[in-house]
């Protein structure tokens, strides 16, 4: 399996530190609002990476944090005459609601900054003791000059960075170098605070991830991931902190997803060009949002549009319909023994799996993996028409379910209650009888009645098949 490592800017063979085990950290959201579809991309993409690693037999420890102390949360709390805790608890719950809808598995641990304060203070103290940080009037800064590899992830040269930083922001007088960044902010009235040896206050953003990764995964992790906007400064600073504090390599593989754009501009809260997952979910099922995200390679940009969402919905329906057709076929077909020429079809089924795995092994190419699923669907639809044997149909169904499950897509959920199902099946039986009696008016009336209930029926050689929609 090869993965593109931002650290080396090339695809590398994936070899975790410990055989059979993967330690993975994904930067989570700052919880002051609903997540937008751009934020949903790392959720879905790295959940899929995790699923694929698990499918390959790895035992994955997956950590995703919540940033629950931040200026934006404090501002929102002040605006609503609420507390930071209330705001962050609310939006953590909302983020879980969306993640569940998107079929994102819960992380092994979801740490929150406010619950890690002792460990944050401890790492800042280590950095001070090692001379990697300095304090000025209650603010603690990281000294980037003493970390000779600063810039190794973003491939920026420290001198260029210093020049760039001085142009962009008014240089903070207390900083020794313009690229130095804050580890601890002194307390301001009206803000939450924690006691620390150098004075009360709260941590900067970057230190939290270094601390939580170390605490739940150890000094060196296998995969660190997030959106590409985090490469600099967030991930660059995480490396500087962790490697100075622990004296070891921080992460072996750095994976970054590309942006979701609108009119080719990054979707973001600050630009105001964003769509929340919740708003989109009112128009398209959550599963279509997941499918939409997986339809592109995770490193390529995706331009969000209604048309593309619609196309994805149609594509997903095609796969789900094939699953339903196979299930119906298996439940109703006669027990035809496996035909001689079908032995070749069984071998061919394996080819779809190989095609799928080859795509996923090549830096998690979900777009090509979905193409392999579409080809399998085409193959299955034809085999149903050709009256295949039950044995082949069962194998096809297994393969289709298996591949869809790896991507977490096209799950068929029981959408009706048992009472509904009984009623629908009674109506279908009545219609079948009416057709037998050549009473087509009644048969058509029942079809219309079912349509009004949102049920579509399909006459097949194996009997009547029904589905919602």
Name the site residues for Zn ion (rule: CB under 5 A).
27, 209
- Binds 259, which of ligand AMP, Zn ion, none (CB < 5 to 8 A, cut-off by type)? ligand AMP
Q: Would you say 298 or 379 has its CB closer to Zn ion?
A: 298
- Tell me how far apart the alpha carbons of residues 293 and 296 are, in angstroms, rounded to a whole number: 6
Choice between 68 and 357, CB closer to ligand AMP = 68
How far is residue 216 from each of residues 16, 107, 116, 281, measured CA to CA in Å? Answer: 17, 12, 11, 33
Q: If binding means CB under 6 A, how many residues of this protein chain bind ligand AMP?
A: 17
Q: Restricting to residues 30-49, which ones interact with ligand AMP according to CB under 6 A?
A: 30, 38-39, 41-42
Cα 316 from Cα 370, distance rounded (Å): 10
Pattern 246-265, binding to ligand AMP, x per CB under 6 A?
A: -----------x-xx-----
Question: Contact between 268 and ligand AMP (CB under 6 A)?
Answer: yes
Residues 59-118 interacting with ligand AMP (rule: CB under 6 A): none
Helix residue ranges, H only, 247-365: 277-281, 286-294, 306-332, 342-361
How far apart are the C-alpha atoms of 230 and 217, rounded to whole Å?
Answer: 20
Pick one of Zn ion, ligand AMP, none as the site partner of residue 111 (Cβ within 5 to 8 A by kind).
none
Q: Rank residues 255 and 404 by Cβ distance to ligand AMP and give the closer one.
A: 255
Q: What is the sign, positive or negative, of the torsion defined by CA atoms of 268, 272, 274, 278?
A: positive
Q: Is 233 among the residues that bind ligand AMP (CB under 6 A)?
A: no
Nearer to ligand AMP, 121 or 217 (CB): 217
Residue 186 binds which entry of Zn ion, ligand AMP, none, CB below 5-8 Å type-dependent: none
How far, in whole angstroms, is CA 266 from its chain's centroid? 18
User: From the CA atom positions of the chain, what is the Rg in Å?
Assistant: 27
Residue nearest to ligand AMP (CB): 227
Regarding 226 and contact with ligand AMP (CB under 6 A), the answer is yes
Q: Which is nearer to ligand AMP, 237 or 345 (CB)?
A: 237
In 3-state terms, what secondary structure has residue 134?
strand
The answer for residues whose C-beta is within 8 angstroms of residue 263's C-beta and 6 or more apart is 273, 303
Residue 256, phi-psi category: left (phi > 0), alpha (psi -120 to 50), beta (remainder): beta
Task: Give least dist CB 27 to Zn ion, A.
Answer: 3
Helix (H, G, I), strand (E, B) or coil at 309: helix
In the bound state with ligand AMP, the residue whose beta carbon lies nearer, of 44 and 360, is 44
Positions touching ligand AMP (CB under 6 A) are 27, 29-30, 38-39, 41-42, 226-227, 229-230, 257, 259-260, 266-268
């Amino acid at each position: 399996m090869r993965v593109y490592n931002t650290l080396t800017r090339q695809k590398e063979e994936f070899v975790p530190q410990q055989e059979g085990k993967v330690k993975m950290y994904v930067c989570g959201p700052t919880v002051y609002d609903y997540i937008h579809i751009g934020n949903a991309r790392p959720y879905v993409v790295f959940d899929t990476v995790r699923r694929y690693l698990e499918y390959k037999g790895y035992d994955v420890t997956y950590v995703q944090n919540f940033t629950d102390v931040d200026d934006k949360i404090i501002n929102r709390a002040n605006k609503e005459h609420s507390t930071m805790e209330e705001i962050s608890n609310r939006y953590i719950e909302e983020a879980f609601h969306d993640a569940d809808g998107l079929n994102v598995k819960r992380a092994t641990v979801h740490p929150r900054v406010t619950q890690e304060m002792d460990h944050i203070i401890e790492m800042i103290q280590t950095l001070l003791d090692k001379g990697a940080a300095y304090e000025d009037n209650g603010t603690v800064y990281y000294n980037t000059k003493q970390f000779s590899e600063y810039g190794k992830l973003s491939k920026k040269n420290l001198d260029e960075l210093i020049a760039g930083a001085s142009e962009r922001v008014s240089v903070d007088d207390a900083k020794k170098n313009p690229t130095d960044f804050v580890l601890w902010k002194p307390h301001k009235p009206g803000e939450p605070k924690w006691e620390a040896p150098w004075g009360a206050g709260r941590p900067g953003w970057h230190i939290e991830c270094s601390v939580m990764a170390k605490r739940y995964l150890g000094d060196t992790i296998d995969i660190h991931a997030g959106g590409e906007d985090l490469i600099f400064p967030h991930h660059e600073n995480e490396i500087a902190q962790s490697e100075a504090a622990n004296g070891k390599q921080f992460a072996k593989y750095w994976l970054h997803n590309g942006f979701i754009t609108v009119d080719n501009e990054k979707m973001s809260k600050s630009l105001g060009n964003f769509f929340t997952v919740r708003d989109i979910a009112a128009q398209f099922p959550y599963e279509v949002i997941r499918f939409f995200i997986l339809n592109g390679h995770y490193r390529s940009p995706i331009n969000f549009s209604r048309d593309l969402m619609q196309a994805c919905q149609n594509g997903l329906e095609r796969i789900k319909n094939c699953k339903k057709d196979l299930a119906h076929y298996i439940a109703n077909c006669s027990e035809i023994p496996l035909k001689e020429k079908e032995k070749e079809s069984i071998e061919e089924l394996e080819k779809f799996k190989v095609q799928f795995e080859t795509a996923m092994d090549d830096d998690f190419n979900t777009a090509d993996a979905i193409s392999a699923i579409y080809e399998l669907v085409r193959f299955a639809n034809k085999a149903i028409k050709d009256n295949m044997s039950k044995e082949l149909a069962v194998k096809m169904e297994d393969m289709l379910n298996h591949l869809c499950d790896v991507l977490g897509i096209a799950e068929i959920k029981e959408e009706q209650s048992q009472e509904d199902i009984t009623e629908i099946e009674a109506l279908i039986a009545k219609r079948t009888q009416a057709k037998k009696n050549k009473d087509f008016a009644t048969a058509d009336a029942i079809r219309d009645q079912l349509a009004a209930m949102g049920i579509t029926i399909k006459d097949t050689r194996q009997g009547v098949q029904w589905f919602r929609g």
